[in-house]
Structure 1
Amino acid sequence: MAADTGDSRPLQVPKRLLDAVGDDPAEPVRSWLDSLPQLAARRLGAWELTPERVVTPGGRGGLVVLVRQADGTPAALKFPVPGPGRGDEAAALAHWNGWGAARLLRASSEDGALLIERLQSAVSLRSLPEAKALLEAAGTVRRLWVPPPADSFGTVEERTGAAAEMLPTLASGAWAADVRPLADEALELRSGLTAQPPERLLLHGDFRQGKVLAGERTPWLAVGPRPVVGERAYDLARLVLDRCEDLAAGPGPAAAARRRIAKLADSLDVDRDRLRGWSLFRAVEAGLRHGAAGDRRRAELLLEFAGWL
């Protein structure tokens, strides 16, 4: 699938994106995917952008094209997959205004397109040794934790509430029989964690090493938020799960996982128990989702990680 941009370099929609949303039953998503080449061509023309290349393999949340603006300045043009909260990424980037995250240059309410400061898409924190990556990640995410704009984003309670409702169903499959006690624990932990949230801050929502890219005006900047309002421990929990395959391959993975929690919690002044609780919940929820989607290898790794906690 390619976009007619008026030159000899059609824009190919990456296979990863096609695989991620190609079978989505929602009509808006199917229509968006079918019309994406035309949407891209129109937006390139309307904003006077010259395409260089599509970022591949890219992400599952949208199409990203590296472009040049009319004055030659590099940028990245993104078309997020339509769905609930489609405009939240633009709102969060605008609120941060380049503080800890890529700067939003333009946004279209018509087709959801975002023109974003160009970062080095091939260089993320995952390219660093783990200890250095976690240090830089902690320094980046703390900049994002700011008071949110009024009434503009959903809350952690709402987001995890939807996930919690699905856990019993996801854990009911025969393959998941052994992890039902973990699912029960995750639900109990989530209930306690959401009863009295200690703070209300704007969170990235999907913060991990692959979402932090090398920049020019500052060494590392976050991209691709799924913004939500809540406590820092929820945001940090996704980082705890990052590169869990490295822990699994090393000696004493359970102790290493607990040390990671302690180190991150202490470096960012986050309560260790709350970080452990959210890490376990997010590991179980993600593991069961991967298992239900047929990715047993990833599911088993995440659920094993949850067991270590």
Structure 2
Amino acid sequence: MAFEPPQRLVRALGEMPETAQDADWLGQLPRLTEAALSRRGVEARRVQAPGGRSSLVVLVTYADGTPAALKLAPPHARPDRELAALAHWGGFGAVRVLDTRHHDDDGALLLERLHPEVSLRSLPEAKALLEASGTLRRLWVAPPAGHGWETVADRTEQQSAALRAAPAEVRALADTALAMRAELVAAPPEELLLHGNFRQGKVLAGERAPWLTVGPDPLVGERAYDLARLVRDRLEDQVASSAGAAGARRRVNKLADALDVDRERLRGWTLFRAVESGNRALAAGRRRDAELLLEFAAWL
């Protein structure tokens, strides 16, 4: 079968800083996919479409008909780190890894098959937040000794470089975000394994458990950083509501209290992550997304 990458993936990769490895990845994708299928002894059924913004997912089966999913991501996505995190969770709250070996030759992950068309976004908001909170709580565990994941301080320091060079229209919010980040990393309260990119769309329906998370961008640090991305889920609906700043702050407080996270630390990380994402969206030419994110950040 042909392994044509979904256009959503092609567009998303086009917005990323290009490296020599990643520039060649899309061109090599058919060969990498065939090699990964052969190496793991599974047969392709179809490419999941529209798929994600950072990987190709092929729905596959074993010779006995057992379903699975093969995920291929470009080198910058560090699939080895995702594999390590999923293996450490061992299927508790997260998709289960069916092959825990990392193959540098293809960087693919063989995972249990979930229902990609059914995420928490299919639920009413209140129920989705309840299920999301329960799933996220399961993921926050101590990292193994000698882990190779970056820390919240490391990742946000890299992101801060772009904020320091933010355009004039983002300057005031960027300065506020940078100041908050400096205060937050000065006294981190805990070091736990975090999902790194957790939101409702990253939690899919499964057979083994009702809801399981996928697509971690793992790092080590405090829970408030991980929860911050969930705060701004369904952002267009939040901005369109009449609640405005009061509604945004209520959402921060509600999620913080539900997961025993400090309210002010959650507010700080939510603001930083929204401004960082907004600045990145602006640089990529996604002005509508940038305006929503920056408006939300200003409410905080």
Q: How does 1:164-175 map to 2 (within 5 A)?
A: 164-169=160-165, 171-172=166-167
2:188 is the alignment partner of 1:197: yes
Percent identity over the alignment? Answer: 61
The letter for the 2-side match of 1:242 is D
1:22, 1:30 within 8 Å by CA — same for their partners in 2? no
Please point out which of 29, 33, 42 is paired with 1:36.
29
CA distance in 1, matches of 2:170, 2:28: 41
Please point out which of 18, 37, 40 is paired with 1:47.
40
Q: Structure 1 residue 255: deviation in Å? A: 1.3
TM-score by length of 1: 0.93
The gaps in structure 1 that reach 5 residues or longer are: 1-8
CA distance in 2, matches of 1:264, 1:22: 34
Once the two structures are overlaid, the 10-residue window that deviates more, 239-248 or 45-54, is 45-54
The letter for the 2-side match of 1:240 is V
Q: How does 1:207-218 map to 2 (within 5 A)?
A: 207-218=198-209
Cα-to-partner distance string for 1:160-180 (whole Å, 9 max, x where unaligned):
0001121021x22xxxx2432
- How many equivalent pairs are there? 296
Please point out which of 98, 104, 109 is paired with 1:105.
98
Question: CA distance change for structure 1 residues 259 and 72 in 2, over 3 Å: closer, same or farther?
Answer: same
Q: Structure 1 residue 21: deviation in Å? A: 2.3
Q: Name the residue aligned to 1:122.
A: 117
Aligned partner of residue 150 in structure 2, secondary structure: coil
Please point out which of 4, 9, 18 is paired with 1:17.
9
Q: Name the residue aligned to 2:138.
A: 143
2:243 is the alignment partner of 1:247: no
CA distance in 1, matches of 2:213, 2:263: 24
The gaps in structure 2 that reach 5 residues or longer are: none
CA distance in 1, matches of 2:224, 2:238: 21
Q: Name the residue aligned to 2:62.
A: 69
Q: Name the residue aligned to 1:299.
A: 290
Aligned partner of residue 139 in structure 1, secondary structure: helix
Aligned partner of residue 71 in structure 2, secondary structure: strand
Cα-to-partner distance string for 1:20-60 (whole Å, 9 max, x where unaligned):
22576311112221111011112212222121111111112
Supply the RMSD in Å over aligned alpha carbons: 1.3
CA distance in 2, matches of 1:81, 1:242: 26
Which of structure 1's runs of 4+ aligned residues deviate more than 4 A? none
2:141 is the alignment partner of 1:156: no
CA distance in 1, matches of 2:78, 2:37: 24
Aligned partner of residue 162 in structure 1, secondary structure: helix
The letter for the 1-side match of 2:130 is L
CA distance in 2, matches of 1:21, 1:296: 18
CA distance in 2, matches of 1:32, 1:291: 25
Q: Name the residue aligned to 1:289.
A: 280
The letter for the 2-side match of 1:205 is G
CA distance in 1, matches of 2:286, 2:131: 30
2:35, 2:106 within 8 Å by CA — same for their partners in 1? no
TM-score by length of 2: 0.96
Q: Structure 1 residue 84: deviation in Å? A: 6.1
